[in-house]
Structure 1
Amino acid sequence: MIDYKKVMELSKKYEPDMVKFLRDMIRIPSESAKEREVIQRIKKEMEKVGFDEIRIDPMGNILGRVGKGKKIIAMDAHIDTVGVGDKNSWQWDPYEGKLENGIIYGRGASDQEAGMASMVYGAKIIKELKLEDDYTLWITGTVQEEDCDGLCWQYILKEKIIDKPEVVVITEPTNLNIYRGHRGRMEIGVTTNGVSCHGSAPERGKNAVYMMAKVVNEIEKLNERIKHDEFLGKGSVTVSYIECNTPSLCAVPDRAYIHLDRRLTQGETRESAVAEVKDAIQRAQIEASVEVLKYSTPSYTGLVYEIDKYYPTWVLPENHVVCKAAVKNYKDVLGITPKVDKWTFSTNGVATMGTMGVPTIGFGPAHEIHAHAISDQVPVEHLVKACAWYATFPSVYVNM
């Protein structure tokens, strides 16, 4: 039997440690592919609390193990962040880790180094209360998520860095709710090729920008036709970038390019999304090429692991044993029934469940509205409650 009162007492006891750890991480700039220093800080904390094993894989992800049972469970926090933009737009130094009135502010506070702070101390409580059961728990701090959702987990699972888990917990911000999926996304490039000529006689050429303008018009119409899902909501497509190539500002452009941000709802696939873009081009009566873009930026270790920028939709059924275990544990730890919902944005779940088929659930401190925002923040009480949930979920799951 789990002594939930004792778990919460210990979680509260370790609140100062979690606060210090999180503030230290915030103070270390760690944009995608620049995470080396924050990984070392996490390693130091894992050593301090007494993990059974700590690894840093060739990509640069850190993986800490507790236990050696048959059932493999992973809990994940990506520890890279987006940049801060114009620092003058912040009310405080985004790399200070400011603590005021029970709230920690700074880049990465919500998205999502708070999850890492709570997980590490959840593991400490597991060991302190001897909550190890027939499971092996991996706590992962993963890299490059902000640039390429799920890249890290495709690498971990396809390259067999650890044995395949039977459940993954994503600790992205959920406002302490249970999340069971989100829309997928993909990045698509469209190119039109024209014929350049002198701008004084444009009729001699074929303007690639005019060609692309017709395509853009059809893409806007396509967005209105995309299907809606009752749980995940509507898919979408938008032009997020446009450029052209021209010999000079006195010439007709011979090439135009647009970048499409495509959000995929339930039932939509890579193939269906590409087919819709090609159909839009046909409706525009224009010749254009379509490609699914690739990601090949080296990690901070120098490793290149190229993948397509296709991040599948995923939804865990509400009656799945993992979801039931998450809800039961929530009730036992926090004494109330959780809201079961979804993320608006994308997570590493696109790889764990979307690509690799591992049942995945989400529970994390902070509210997602603060992710990537100049209000980036997390309440300290969220760290404590999340820590207690992380400490007890593995045992609840393996005994379902």
Structure 2
Amino acid sequence: MFDKQRLLELVSQNEQELLDLTAKLLQIPSENPDGDTREISTFILEYLRTNGIEAKTYEPDPNRFNIVASVGPKTGKTLIYCGHSDTVPVGDLEQWDFSPFSGEIKDGYLLGRGASDMKAGLAGLIFSMVILKRYDVPLKGELVLAIVPDEESGGDFGVPWLLDEGIITGDGCLIAEPSSELNPTIGQKGSCWFKLTVNGVPAHGSLAPFVGKNAIVDAIRAIERIRTVTDLAIQAPAELKELLQVSNEYLLENERAETRGVFEKITCNIGTIQGGTSANVVADKCVVNIDCRLPFGITNEETMVYIKQELDQLDIDYTIESFGFKSSANYTPAENPVCRAIVDNISYVLKEHAYGVLQWACSDARHFRVHDIPVLQYGPAELDTIHGFNEKVQVKQVINCAKVYTLAAIDFLNE
């Protein structure tokens, strides 16, 4: 067994390399949707190969390819370390106080789009594998690194493809998605994204509402009905009572009291609305993209049945089409070995009590659970900046997470 303190010393000795790696990832644009992640993937490939780790690439899409690498023997258990290289778009550049592709360190923070979600965590996974390889740390099993280019827009070309094709499988998985320092996410809500299309009858705008049928007005009525999903009383399974209680207490302890109950309710976000052709034309079409997140106790199908029942009470011409994220709530028990390996080493590194909680969003973790692979998420983050302007992450968190990743791989594979 490799001494834990010795491993921590090795990470500390090489921490500048970790920060330089993170900075470089931040400096390479990899926005999604409709992005091209070839540049960042090519950089990662070269970094791995420079450090003696050969990786394979898998290309389900011309502009996006997956990277899979491994260290350790294939005779024991397999642990998957997974991260995505894509980010959400940077948005309005005028709203940023620094370049979204900065990668600089200022006041103890690394700056740039993807700093928290999740290039810093991804860098930590890559760096952890390199450290284990560089110093010939003995492993009784295989550590697999899976880097995917397509998570932020639904992930069709990433994790689910790798799993469905049988390219990766394992006894446990860690995804370096953003989390709080002491609380990895061991479960998550389900997701129900859909597009509502409302059709109207065009006419001259000067005669509305006497003639024509305005699709935008009907869409507003439809939205009001759809948003009533948040009022549904949903009963979670009895075995999740403790996890739900712990997760709600976590919200209170982290000054998120306004979100208490989010794990037991459906949330509903009206994301985009597009309708009409001109101010003086009664709109003949309105398209609304909607994101609902589902708690334990209700399925995607049951949610859509309720929504359609509500809309059918209105005198409107509409269609609904699912897209993007679609899943039911899911979790990995806290006592599972992969959860224990991460949680125990968070406590070891930070010298504080760590425990797993639920996540109010969702991620690639759902795909691993569909394939019966226990999974949790833990990564460095400044949570309030995720998907917003001025995204950043604390340098000390980046380093501490890399320490946890390195120690957890040893504990899980060598137990």
TM-score (norm 2): 0.84
Aligned pair partner of 1:258 in 288, 294, 298: 288
Which residue of 1 is the match for residue 50 of structure 2?
Answer: 48
Return the offset for 1:331.
3.3
Name 2:412's counterpart in structure 1.
397
What's 1:212 paired with?
A: 219
> Deviation digits for residues 95-134 of structure 1, max 9, x if unmatched?
1211123321111211111112211221123234433423
Match of 1:241 among 268, 272, 283: 272
The one-letter code sitting in structure 2 at the alignment partner of 1:276 is Y
Residue 377 of structure 1 corresponds to 392
Q: How does 1:146-225 map to 2 (within 5 A)?
A: 146-149=152-155, 151-162=157-168, 164-177=169-182, 178-199=184-205, 200=207, 202-225=209-232
Bigger mean CA offset, 128-137 vs 14-23 = 128-137
Distance in 1 between residues matched to 2:134 and 2:208, nearest whole Å: 80
% identical aligned pairs: 26
The structural deviation recorded for 1:87 is 2.3
- State the distance in 2 between where 1:326 and 1:72 align: 15
8 A contact 1:149–1:311 mirrored in 2: no
Q: Distance in 1 between matches of 2:210 and 2:389?
A: 49
Q: TM-score, normalised by structure 1?
A: 0.87
What is aligned with 1:61? 66
For the residue of structure 2 that corresponds to 1:84, the secondary structure is coil
> Once the 2 structures are TM-superposed, how far is the Cα of residue 171 of structure 1 from its aligned partner?
0.3
**Structure 1: tracts of 5 or more residues without a match:** 294-307
Match of 1:296 in 2: none
Question: Is the counterpart of residue 90 in structure 1 residue 90 in structure 2?
Answer: no
Distance 1:225 1:165 in 2: 37
Structure-2 separation of matches of 1:170 and 1:201: 53
Asked whether the 8 Å contact 2:28–2:40 carries over to 1, the reply is yes
Residue 112 in structure 1 maps to residue 118 in structure 2: yes
Q: Distance in 2 between matches of 1:104 and 1:209?
A: 43
Contact 1:150 1:351 in 2 (8 A): no
Please list the CA deviations of residues 299-341 of structure 1 after superposition, one character each: whole Å capped at 9, or x if unmatched: xxxxxxxxx5414422112232322232233334444321322
CA RMSD of aligned residues (A): 2.4
Equivalent position of 1:12 in the other structure: 12
Runs (4+) of structure 1 moved beyond 6 Å?
none
> Does the 8 Å CA contact 2:79/2:412 hold for their aligned counterparts?
no
Match of 1:300 in 2: none
Instruction: State whether residues 187 and 310 of structure 1, in contact with CA within 8 Å, keep that contact through their aligned partners in structure 2.
Output: yes
1:154-199 per-position Cα deviation (integer Å, ceiling 9, x unaligned): 111112223x222110101213332212222221122233333444
Give matches, 1:275-286, under 5 Å: 275-286=305-316
In 2, the alpha carbon distance for the partners of 1:49 and 1:382 equals 24
CA contact (8 A) 1:126 1:392 kept: no
Aligned equivalents of 1:113 and 1:204: distance in 2? 54
Q: Residues 366 and 327 from structure 1, CA distance in 2 versus in 1: closer, same or farther, beyond 3 angstroms?
A: same
Task: Mark the CA change 1:373 to 1:290 in structure 2 (over 3 Å): closer, same or farther.
Answer: closer
Which of the residues 327, 351, 355 maps onto 1:339? Answer: 355
CA distance in 2, matches of 1:88, 1:208: 34
**Counterparts of 1:242 and 1:378 in 2: how far apart (Å)?**
32
For residue 152 of structure 2, give the secondary structure of its aligned residue in structure 1: coil
- For structure 2, which runs of at least 5 residues remain unmatched after alignment? 237-243, 248-262
Aligned length: 382
